[in-house]
Structure 1
């Protein structure tokens, strides 16, 4: 909780309501009440009351013992897009990046231990999972996540490490010390390349996007496959384009001058 907040300010029923909404995913598109209760670790009576409330509000629909989200939930994402200028500002730059590289371009933000896609121009399907707006991936094993973690406050990285660093491929960095070292390198050079750590054959390069104050608020990425390119080619040919594009987005967000790679802010002291 932030300064001035107390436990009395915390509304647990809202937390539980969102937990129920998050229980709907690709593995559970139309779960039963029991499946939602198991996924959320809430009691069945509690889940039933929440589902009935969400149905009355129009966010879910129940039939024959199963529940589905309704299109109304999309309005939440729409409100995010319309209230955050970064997505509108970045979109033409994403299009230009995708055209210049002939590869998919993405914009993401850090949310807890994961990064969430908030902007994307797909060129070809390079991953076995569908990458769409709202898709979440582990921060520690992706180029976007490493860019965001490299400039995040120390407690954000601590939270990621405490949650665990499971291995996705044989290349995934799972050692906390190794991850901290890699983030130090990312912060020093100003960009990140990750190859085959979240999925074999997937290579991506990312750079930070900053707001008017200079704070890193998003990560811009270009992704390809090992069948089309390699790390050295990405570093030599694509990385400069991604960095320049991220700088232009930052300038459009009001940044007057792109700061140096190393921050002197006390906020980051003790990060490594």
Structure 2
């Protein structure tokens, strides 16, 4: 589980749940929310691959809690089996995986997309994945390698920054421009590779290009050696629910070859899924 940064309350407010149409329901009244549950989940999300072990003070700082409150949440989560402690350090336990498994086993979207991913990946002999937007990141909900392991990020449950990924740009391109501009203004556009787009205006242009083309390409911006082509996945009403990509090794496939060889198959998969989403 990864929590790159605590989500700003305005981060793409109203993100559609992966299996729901965008803006399916208005935001609930604050009086209807259980603050304790919200904060407890925030404590779980505070742990990530960069900080797999945290002290009480670190959890408090990352979740904007008092130290006393962070301690109570950690004690409760340890009692329930979701974290364990070693002296002053806390870490998540495998029990947390139940949350992700519950989604993967019950949600409609991954179950519908996965077979199409398999057909696409094995027809092209390239890796393919699908993801949804969650605040600053894209979460992978389905993936298949077709025998080619091109990146550790191409597996269900992984999170990657939306600004430097093809799936992220495709998903952002479906948003109103004002919302995209506000989203970009909140990002820390870090250069993950020498190719990463870090200028807000350039990123804005790349998202606009994805909107006009109907697909996005990213050339070694997330990882050196990784090229990706992505298209949006729409339902029968034309609402974008997710994005699907094909990823290749840069040493084997040029960007032009990727688009020429994979875009027709991606568009065919897109059309097939639109009838059932």
- Fold shared by both chains (TM-score > 0.5): yes
1:225 aligns with 249
Q: 1:157 corresponds to which residue?
A: 180
The correspondence for 1:66, drawn from 76, 81, 89, is 89
Residue of 188, 197, 211 corresponding to 2:212: 188
Please list the CA deviations of residues 44-102 of structure 1 after superposition, one character each: whole Å capped at 9, or x if unmatched. 21111001121233322234333232233222212322442110011111111111122
Q: SS where residue 192 of structure 2 aligns?
A: coil
Q: Does structure 1 conserve the Cα–Cα contact (< 8 Å) formed by 2:54 and 2:89?
A: yes
Matched, 1:56 2:79: yes
Residue 198 of structure 1, CA deviation: 1.6
Deviation at residue 155 of structure 1 after TM alignment: 4.9
Q: Which residue, out of 158, 164, 169, partners 1:146?
A: 169
1:102 match: 125
Matches within 5 A, 1:1-272: 3=26, 5-122=28-145, 123-127=147-151, 129-164=152-187, 165-253=189-277
Q: Kindly provide the CA deviation profile for residues 149-194 of structure 1, in whole angstroms up to 9, marking residues without a partner as x.
A: 1112345423431222232233222233322222222122211111
In structure 2, distance between residues paired with 1:47 and 1:90 = 38
1:147 deviates by: 0.7
- After superposition, the Cα gap between the structure-2 partners of 1:70 and 1:97, relative to the gap in structure 1 and judged at 3 Å, is same
Find the aligned partners of 2:27 and 2:171 in 1 and give their Cα distance.
27
**1:116-150 CA-partner distances (Å, limit 9, x unpaired):** 101111233323x5543221111121110111011
The 3 A distance-change label for structure 1 pair 159 and 54 is farther
Alignment coverage as a number of residue pairs:
252
Question: After superposition, what is the alpha-carbon deviation per residue over 1:186-215, rounded to whole angstroms, capped at 9, x for unaligned?
Answer: 122211111011222210000111123220
Identify unmatched segments of 5+ residues in structure 1: 254-272
Residues 4, 92 of structure 1: alpha-carbon distance in 2 compared, 3 angstrom cutoff: closer
| C-alpha contact (below 8 Å) 2:83/2:93 kept by paired residues | yes
Give the stretch that moved more between structures: 48-57 or 24-33: 24-33
**Cα offset, 1:243, TM superposition:** 1.7
Unaligned runs of 5+ in 2: 1-12, 15-25
Instruction: Tell me: CA distance 1:49–1:161, structure 2 relative to 1, closer, same or farther (3 Å).
Output: same
The 3-state SS of whatever aligns with 1:199 is: coil
- Contact kept, 8 Å, 1:33 with 1:44, in 2: the verdict is yes
